[in-house]
Structure 1
Amino acid sequence: MPSPYDQEIEDLLALYARQREEAAETRRRIAATTATATDPRQAVKVTVGAQGELTAVEFPTGAYRRMAPKELADLLVTTAARAREEALEMVAGVVSDGLPPGVTVGDLLQGRVDPAALLPEDPALADAVREYVEHGFEGADRG
């Protein structure tokens, strides 16, 4: 015998499926994120992935040939840092839509917010559905 709450349960399952798909899409968008930075002198061009991993280093001009090794190394490090900052900003833009007002990606990454605190301990359920889940059909109020 079908439950009077079948539609509400189906709606909750559909919502869950949409949220999982949104999470998968967010993951895909993050994985596809890259950022490129070029130093002002055009000696070094660096590309990084979403997590700041170095994916490409280019020397667009011959300017690097006139640089001391330490100067070139420092330029690579600072240019990669700029690319990482840009990648982090891009990732923050992707995930910030799903965060509650006032919470930033930086808050999460720097440990200022507990991710578990962002999710309610009790999921939003209609009272009738909650009663059904907790007590079964026999315990549900048939109103």
Structure 2
Amino acid sequence: MSNPPEYDMGQAIAELRAEQARIQAAGEHMASVTGSASSADRMVSATVDSQGRLVELKLTGTRYRRLAPAELCTRIVATVRAAQENAAREAATALSGLLPPGLGLPVDGDFDLDAMFDAAVSAAMASAPDTNETSPEGADLDG
């Protein structure tokens, strides 16, 4: 029977603190994320916060006054959506550094948590040392 590898509590605590610092930094970055966009003609520009809420809307010049209300609304909505997509990409980039290697964060928000979990477990199992041993009495440890 072999003894389990030594567990270095100090190193484990240091790694935990480092991970907590990374998570805190990512959270702070997430809170400060904004997204901006402008219409193709630069008439409309919008900025949204990390939650996708509109924080600034600018109409440049006076050309917008000659647009039909529906056309102006369409440009505003399209510009705000583009700003929201930019903010979502920025947020995804901030979060991607926290994920285990090999796991990506889809920008479109289409998460398959089961697949992500399965991939993480497979990666962990592939890198784990073989511990297929039995107890000293030869009993099966799995039940």
Shared fold, TM over 0.5: yes
Q: Which runs of 5+ in 2 are unaligned?
A: 1-5, 125-143
| Partner Cα distance (2:75, 2:81) in 1 | 10
The residue aligned with 1:17 is: 17
The residue aligned with 2:109 is: 109
Change (3 A) 1:69 1:40: same
4+ aligned runs moved over 6 Å, structure 1: none
Q: TM-score, normalised by structure 1?
A: 0.70
After superposition, residues 7-46 of structure 1 pair within 5 angstroms as 8-46=8-46
Change (3 A) 1:84 1:26: same
| Partner Cα distance (2:116, 2:33) in 1 | 26
Deviates more, 1:111-120 or 1:53-62: 111-120
Please tell me the root mean square deviation across aligned C-alpha atoms, in Å.
Answer: 2.9
Deviates more, 1:69-78 or 1:93-102: 93-102
- Give secondary structure in 1 for the equivalent of 2:79: helix
Contact 1:49–1:87 (CA under 8 A) maintained in structure 2: yes
| Partner Cα distance (2:38, 2:107) in 1 | 28
Q: TM-score, normalised by structure 2?
A: 0.70
Deviates more, 1:39-48 or 1:103-112: 103-112
- Give secondary structure in 2 for the equivalent of 1:21: helix
Q: Which one has the bigger helix percentage?
A: 1
How many residues are treated as equivalent by the alignment?
A: 119
After superposition, residues 1-143 of structure 1 pair within 5 angstroms as 8-106=8-106, 109-114=109-114, 117=117
